[in-house]
Structures are given as C-alpha cells and as structure tokens.
A and B are shown apart, each in its own frame.
Chain A
Amino acid sequence: MTKLNSKTPEGPLAEKWRNYRSNQNLVNPANKRKLDIIVIGTGLAGAAAAASFAELGFNVKVFCIQDSPRRAHSIAAQGGINAAKNYPNDGDSIYRLFYDTIKGGDYRAREANVYRLAEVSNNIIDQCVAQGVPFAREYGGLLDNRSFGGALVSRTFYARGQTGQQLLLGAYGALSKEIEKGSVEMYTRHEMQDIVIIEDRARGIIARNIITGELERHFGHAVVLATGGYGNVFFLSTNAMNSNGSAIFRAYKKGALFGNPCFTQIHPTCIPVHGDYQSKLTLMSESLRNDGRIWVPKNKEDAEKIQKGELKPTEIAEEDRDYYLERRYPAFGNLVPRDVASRAAKERCDAGYGVGPTGLAVYLDFEDAINRLGRDAIEAKYGNLFQMYEKIVDEDPYTTPMMIYPAVHYTMGGLWVDYELQTTITGLFAAGEANFSDHGANRLGASALMQGLSDGYFVIPYTMQNYLADQIGVKRISTDHEAFEKAEKESQERIDRIMAVKGKTSVDTFHKKLGLIVWEYIGMSRNKEGLEKAIGMIREIREEFWKDVKITGDITGMNTELEKGLRVADYIDLAELMAYDALQREESCGGHFREEYQTGEGEALRNDKEFTYVSAWEYKGDGEKPELHKEDLNFEFVEVKQRSYK
C-alpha cells in the first residue's frame, strides 16, 4: 500500500469537479433503497451528509455521542462561514478563495480539493438560506459580510456570534425531516468503538450504547466518519468535552492512513488559562479582530506592573502601546492568519511583555471601534461574545480591553482521504474535520464550517455513489458474520482490560499530564530535542496508564469514567503519532513551527524541495513505529511562494 493515489481528475483546475461529476457512476433509485450507509457524527459534515444521502433514497443509520444530534460540537462555532459570492463587490472570486486557502495553508494542501471547496462554497450559502438560517442582513434585506484573517476581501457570512449553531440547526432540520420520513435511523448516546472489515471493505461498526453499556453491531455497505477533530489530545482546548479522536484512531488501527497528524491549529484569541482546575478554554471569535486591536505595553516595566496589578491597561498612554501585529504586518495588520498571530503573541509574552496575572496574555482592545461606531454597533455585532467574556473573567470588555492568549482549536490533520473522501480502507469515508484535506498546514478562519458543509451536502453525496454503484449486488450482510463477532470481542476485551487495571490514578490526571507534554513539546513551537523527549515521556505515560488507571463504576449502565478512559488511551497513542510526524517534518509551515527552521525575522521557513508532501502514517502494531507514506503535492496552477502578510 505504498502508493497513495489521490484520484485527482484530469483536466484544467476549474473543470475537474464538473468532469468528475459528468463521468462518475450513479446508482439508480430502485437500487438506492437496497443500500445502507452508516454515518458517524451529526456535526455539520455528518448531519449534512446523512440528510443528503437519505434524500437521494439510501437507507441511513446515524450515530452520535450527545443526547441529540443538534448538540454536536459544530454548534459552538462562532464567527462565520466563507463563500466566494462577491456580494460586497470587493474583488472576490472562486479563484481568489481557492488561492487564499492554498496560501493560508502554507502550500501543503491538494489543489484540486481546495478548488472544489471554493467552487461549492456558494451553493452552501444558497442552501442554508433556503433552510431558514437567519444570517445577518443589511437594511436593504440582502446578506451582510465581514472579514476574517488571511483575506483582503469580506467574504464571511455570519449569524451574530452563533454561526455554527445556526448552520447546524439547519442541517439538523434537514436530518430531522428524514428521520420523520423513516429514511434515517438515529442512534443518539452511542459511541462507535470499531470499524468492521469484511474482505478488505468497511462493512459496519461496533457501537457502545452509552446508557446501557451494551455493545451493538451495525451493518452498512459503506461507512462515513464525520467525527470531528482531535484537539482534546491537549486536554485544554476550545473543543467541546465530548470531542475526541477515538473514531478516526480506531480506523487508523484498522488500516486507514493518518494524514499530517502534527498539523494542529493554535487559535490566537482565547480567554487565558486561569487555574489548574480548568476544564476547557473558551474561544473569542476571530471576527473580533475586525474591530479589536491587539497590543501589549511597549515597556517591560509597564507589563510587569500590570502583571502585579499595580497598573491598569487604560492607564497606558497610546504612545506606550505596541500594536505589534500592525507594526510587523502592515498589509494585513490584526487580520493575519491564525498561526502568525498566535506565534506573535507567544513571542511578546515570552519576551516579558505579556499582561494579566500570569503574564501569558495580550490585549484585544475595542476602544477605537467603540469611539468610531458607537457601543450599540459593537454590541449588535459581538454582544454574545462580550457577555461570555464577562461571565468568565468578571471584567467588562466594553470599558477595559479583553485579555486573550492562544489555545488549541482545530486539527488540520486527520484521516488521509482521496479526492472522493475515501480513506485507504475501501468503503470507509471521512468528512469534515475528521479528514486531513483542504486546509494544508493551517486553516483560515470561517473555512471549517465551509468544508464541513461542502463535504456533507455537495461532495460525498456524489462521490459515495461512485463507490456504491458497483456494490448494488452486495446483499446485506448479517451481523452474525464472524467479522462482526471478532470486532465485538476485541472491543469488549479492550473495555475489560481497562476496567481490570483497577489502579490508583484517575483518567483526568493522566489526560492533564499528557496534555501538558503535548502543549509543551508538540504545541505552538517544536524542536528535535523536545520532540524526542516527548516521545519518551508519552511512552512512560502509556505504561503507567495501563498499570495504574482507575475506572470506578460498572461495566454495564452509564459510566462516564469508562468513556473518558477509552478516549484517553487513544490520545496517548495519537500524541506519539503527532510527535513522529512533527519530528520527520524538518521545516516550518503553517501551524507546524520547528524552531530550527525560521527566517531571520522569525517567520516560518518552509523547505519545498524536500517536504512538499502529505505525510500519511500506517499503523504497524502496538509499540511499533508507524510507517510513513508520502503523497507528493504538485502545484500546477499556483506558484509556490514564501507566504507574506507584510
């Protein structure tokens, strides 16, 4: 399996997707009824895909961890969704959205996929409006747009600071419509444990009923993983508590290659850590950088006084403030991409200019915007974010600048998929944040929602048919089949094993410990020595975990400690994989910053000659080093350049 075939269609960039659709195989309506598709996940990608499959006439089974499909993590997305509509007439186009995304990703994504994404972005907005998504509008009744990082145009559609919520409720509505019709069977509070493979094809899953603790077998002609990202490997992240990496990691262990695991995104504007009991971090949407200006004191003495509580930010004179993003990147200013903004904040704080009690924070200041536009205008745009901030920090961001610091937010890495979103296991697909495609080494703001809905509504309903067209003769396989039996037994053994440890240390203790290592050595900046050290430390944690983890409660019935324990076991292995990947990539690109490779000005230094590829890792057994495969990236349509936001 050394040769990775991306199955990119022939032809000029702008015609590839059209050509593909014109020539692909389809399934006729009568046969669709005979085919079952399993979708894991009800975030934007999963809900959109499941609803669209069902509308086409397939039988769909959908699974999610939450008590309702509407609560998937996508609900928490705040800022907006991109599309190349060019409604503001400011020079946007499909090509420009494509180009910005490729460049934003630091030239580590597949051109054809990204172009397709930009192409269908406009359909997404049409679809959502038709579903009743109440996007922000102008007085003329037409849709409003705002700007996000890494772009010079306003192409972001939004619904206050709750865009993800509104888009997900739209997709949830579509899904609900199909559940009502009986074409979708919904399984809430179910967690997938493993993929079932029969004759080298994905044919079903083993799921654990979270309420009863029982394992269940489910057959499908094909399986889609839309299970989101693995940011929670860091313990502290902006991801929801139930977000996890287990589904894709189980698939990896069954033979699906894992793409670019070390490409993780640290978001520049999150509420800083405030105590060691903290359970998660809260994002302050990137949209705030439209109106907020980021600064730290120019003088170290001022910073120190602020840290000690002897000075207030409002007491620092204008000329004593360092708007370091505007200073370093005059062209993009506060709207540089996330990786650039995060590193710049870390640089200032490491140099001793940070604010807040810990010195690990910078200011995001709305004073100018409030003076210019009025408090009401700011409240209308960001009211819910300001309220959220005030509830957590107990300070009023209308009168004193917000404090922010970078935090883990998104994972560009994920299961390797080809142009059809199929993994290296035939019949197993991955959509949304769960796959590695489209964002390269760094994702631009408002592009994850776009990708989730693009994959779900407009890509996989097509590409899936190309696969299923030659499966119409395959009869439903009984779940008594030995492959189901074996997979269920393996899942049961894993559960028994973790319950049997009966150690002394709680799951969260291990998770926090792991998170600190990943943050320190595989976080915002990395180096060879640190990565090697991290691998050793992660191995120690693994050994200790399986000797000393304590899971209270029973194997039957609801047991949240057990759920967490199984996930943390996977995080430990996943963290090691991330370290291998970061170690082999001897260059800096996007979110992957290797200290050894930087320009004189401290910017990321790519090595295109040797590293213009996707790393795709193959599992080789527990305790064995995984094998690296490479998908070379060919840039036929854009010129690969040093990224510059100056």
Chain B
Amino acid sequence: MNLTLKIWRQKDAKAKGKFVTYKINDISPDCSFLEMLDILNEQLVEKDEEPVAFDHDCREGICGTCSLYINGRPHGPDEAVTTCQLHMRKFKDGDTIVIEPWRAKPFPVIKDLIVDRYAFDKIIQAGGYISVNTGGVPDANAIPVPKEKADLSMDAASCIGCGACVAACKNASAMLFVSAKVSQLALLPQGKTEAKRRVQKMVAKMDELGFGNCTNTYACEAECPKEISVENIARMNREFLGAKIGGNKKEK
C-alpha cells in the first residue's frame, strides 16, 4: 500500500505545532499502525530527520500508553481496539491519513503526538482505591461476592486509562474514566466502606483539573477501545447523589 500521512509535529510544549506531509510506500496490510510509523521513522532517520515521537509500550492493547487521533477518531477507524492493535488492512491503497495527538486542555502536548496525561493519575490519587495497607486483611474467601457483581466490576476495571474518552468528548469530560473506577470499587463489598468519600474526592479533583462537564453525547463510549459502558456514568451519578444526600459534608 502507498499512503500519504499528515502528521502533527511540535518540537516541545511551548513550540507552535504544524502538520507535515509524508509519503510512505509498500506497506503490508498485515502491518500494524505503529509498525507503519516505525517504518516511517526508520526512513526519517535514514534522511537525518528527527523521527516522529509517539507514545507506545505494550503494543497489545492493555497498557493504555498509545493514543493518536487518526482521521478524526481516537485510536482510528476500527472498533474496540487501541491504536497499537489497529492494522493497515483497515485502510486502502492511496489513502491520506491524518494523525494528531489527543486534543484536550487537561492533556497538554509534550512533543509531536505525545501528550501529558498525568491528570488521570491525580484523579486516582484523590481516592481511586481502597485504603487498606499491606497485611492484616481477611482471607480472600471470607466475603463472598455475587458473580454478577464481580463481573460488572471487572467490566469497569478493564479501563486502560488511555484518555480516548476525553479526546472524543467535545467538552473534554473525564466522566467515563472516573466512573469506571468508582463503579469497579462501588460494586464490591470491599469498596463500599469508603464509597461516598471516594466519589466526592474524585469528582472534585476532576473538576479542579479542568475536565469539562458531561452532556450525555456518549462519544466516549463509542470511542472507548475497551467498550466501557456509559452505565458506569449513571452508576457514578447515583453514588454521587447518594453521597451528597447521605451528608458526608464534614469530609474534606
């Protein structure tokens, strides 16, 4: 396959970025999207040009490192995959492919296609866990968990924290990400104890970091490579409301 690539190049956070066009030839349809970029980079190095910087690590759809806005869609045209799992067979010979970084205020560009997603870590730090220390916990089978609940919890826990939901949302809302963690823990008896506190702290942090509001367009669910359901958002809203009514106001 022969392709034209329009790639966002930006030297660093402060620089002004721009699109640069590259031609690339003889790409096998069995090649992955990132392998195609590897080939481009090898060619750039050959020509003494700086390769395109992009984030990636596991290359099997689980670490959430890869990103990329491809032809206007986070993680490209294929359903339920990350960019690293996208294969060139989803494109046609002669196609022009536009490749951009995530565009969202809380995710500033670091270089070329790489953005800073530490805001997600900050939201988790605010309360996305169960506050137990190492040791002194009950036997794993001491508290039975209904299989349905455990399965739903696992569905929510599949979130890889890539940020596609934020990139897809016109408001740059992080609701799907936050609600996945809130749901995972709220569905388990182990996570119930501090459920109210957790949802309040995480939502407060999300707002503080400049993520937008959710206006129920569900673009996040449509673009999520792990098919995390918007039902989690509904569940979180219930948790959040419950926490307000339950009056956890003294909690800072």
Interface segment out of the listed B151-159, B209-217, B234-242, B243-251: B151-159
- Write the chain B residue with the least CB distance to A135: B150
Residue B91 at the A interface, CB < 8 A? no
Interface of B is mostly: loop
Chain A residues contacting B188 (CB-CB under 8 Å) are 132, 134
B147 touching A558, Cβ below 8 Å: no
Q: How far, in angstroms, from A474 to B61 measured CA to CA in the complex?
A: 46
Most buried by A among B57, B59, B121, B133: B57
Chain B residues contacting A128 (CB-CB under 8 Å) are 140
B45 touching A506, Cβ below 8 Å: yes
B118 touching A126, Cβ below 8 Å: no
B45 touching A134, Cβ below 8 Å: no
Q: How far, in angstroms, from A392 to B30 measured CA to CA in the complex?
A: 8
Q: How far, in angstroms, from A186 to B125 measured CA to CA in the complex?
A: 11
Say yes or no: A277-B134 contact (C-beta < 8 A), given A66-B57, A71-B65, A87-B141: no
B28 touching A275, Cβ below 8 Å: yes
Within 8 A of B (CB), among A272-329: 274-275, 277-280, 282-283
Say yes or no: A211-B35 contact (C-beta < 8 A), given A134-B153, A241-B57, A508-B42: no
A-contact 0/1 string along B100-141, CB 8 Å cutoff: 000000000011001011101100111111111111011111
Residue A610 at the B interface, CB < 8 A? no
Q: How far, in angstroms, from A388 to B86 measured CA to CA in the complex?
A: 10
Chain A residues contacting B93 (CB-CB under 8 Å) are none
Say yes or no: A143-B140 contact (C-beta < 8 A), given A174-B134, A177-B129, A561-B45: yes
B-contact 0/1 string along A62-90, CB 8 Å cutoff: 00001111110101100000000101000
- Write the chain A residue with the least CB distance to B28: A275
Say yes or no: A279-B34 contact (C-beta < 8 A), given A67-B65, A561-B45: yes
Chain B residues contacting A391 (CB-CB under 8 Å) are 61, 78, 81, 85, 87
- Write the chain A residue with the least CB distance to B152: A134
Residue A461 at the B interface, CB < 8 A? yes
A71 touching B64, Cβ below 8 Å: yes
B146 touching A141, Cβ below 8 Å: yes
Residue B97 at the A interface, CB < 8 A? no
Q: How far, in angstroms, from A140 to B30 measured CA to CA in the complex?
A: 44
Say yes or no: A188-B48 contact (C-beta < 8 A), given A132-B188, A159-B154, A160-B154: no
Among A87, A129, A174, A278, the residue within 8 A (CB) of B190 is A129
Residue A540 at the B interface, CB < 8 A? no
A-contact 0/1 string along B47-80, CB 8 Å cutoff: 0111101011111111111000000000000101
Residue B145 at the A interface, CB < 8 A? yes
A176 touching B161, Cβ below 8 Å: no
Within 8 A of A (CB), among B143-201: 143-147, 150-151, 153-154, 157-158, 160-161, 184-185, 188, 190-191
B132 touching A130, Cβ below 8 Å: yes
B-contact 0/1 string along A551-564, CB 8 Å cutoff: 01100011011000
Chain A residues contacting B65 (CB-CB under 8 Å) are 66-67, 71
Residue A595 at the B interface, CB < 8 A? no
A132 touching B185, Cβ below 8 Å: yes
- Chain A nearest CB from B203 CB (Å) reads 15
Which 8 pairs show the lowest CB-CB distances between chains A and B? A141-B144, A173-B129, A130-B137, A134-B154, A134-B153, A129-B140, A180-B125, A52-B134
Seen from chain B, the residues whose Cβ lies within 8 Å of a Cβ on chain A are: 11-12, 28, 30-32, 34-35, 38-39, 42, 44-46, 48-51, 53, 55-65, 78, 80-81, 85, 87, 89, 110-111, 114, 116-118, 120-121, 124-135, 137-141, 143-147, 150-151, 153-154, 157-158, 160-161, 184-185, 188, 190-191
Chosen A-B contacts, 15 in total, with CB atoms closer than 8 Å, are A68-B118, A69-B121, A123-B135, A129-B140, A130-B137, A143-B141, A160-B158, A180-B126, A240-B63, A241-B56, A241-B58, A279-B32, A457-B134, A552-B45, A553-B51
Known: A173-B130, A176-B124, A240-B58. 6 other contacts (CB 8 A): A68-B118, A135-B150, A176-B128, A240-B63, A279-B38, A552-B49
